Amino acid sequence: MQRPVPRLILASQSKFRAGLLAAAGVTAEAMPAYVDEAEIKTAAKAEGMSAEDTAMLLASLKAERIARRFPDALVIGGDQILVCEGQWFDKPADLDAARAQLRELRGRAHELVTAVLCQRGAQRVWQHVARPRLVMRDFSEMFLEEYLAMEGEVLTTTVGAYRVEGPGMQLFDRIDGEHTAIMGLPLLPLLGFLRQHRVLIT
């Protein structure tokens, strides 16, 4: 279903994004692209950039870094920012930070602004932003502690301190949007582009 050319590279160290592509039958080499996300987000906020533009900027910087090294490859870049009532959230540093973050999100709605783009050489050939909306239920402190104990350090690898593909689904009353976008990669639009770009067989 996938043509051998062009080479497909995922500019990310996210196991979740790589796993989504693999599960969909897409072969992509995962290659981390290191950028100072905290510094970029701080500057973006100071300049009044939106979460959508900032997520796309981060995705672009990652893809550009890899594309400079492999100009003949098609490079996928992605990034995600959680926004709750105007506040941006990052991956929690530890379980205490995850606990505090989940308490802040409890009983409230938030969006996962999820940007993805494809770059070939110096040219950005496609981009897309998804904004799934999730409503977290008003769970008890007992549930929170049980959840933290069950999931452990994996919660520090996700921007929301939850995994909807696991027990994190129990945190929510409502979820609107593509499931894969919540996990960090809007897969249906990306697959559509890859078919259009003749990477995948139509």
Residue 75: how many other CB atoms lie within 10 Å: 31
What angle do helix axes 95-105 and 141-151 make, rounded to 10 degrees? 140
53 is catalytic: no
Active-site option among 36, 79, 94, 138: 79
Report CA-CA distances (Å) from 63 to 55, 66, 78, 177, 189: 12, 5, 8, 25, 18
Query: From CA 39, how far away is CA 178, in angstroms rounded?
Result: 29
Tokens of 56: 């796309």
Q: Are 102 and 51 a contacting pair, CB within 8 Å? A: no
Q: Which residues are catalytic?
A: 79
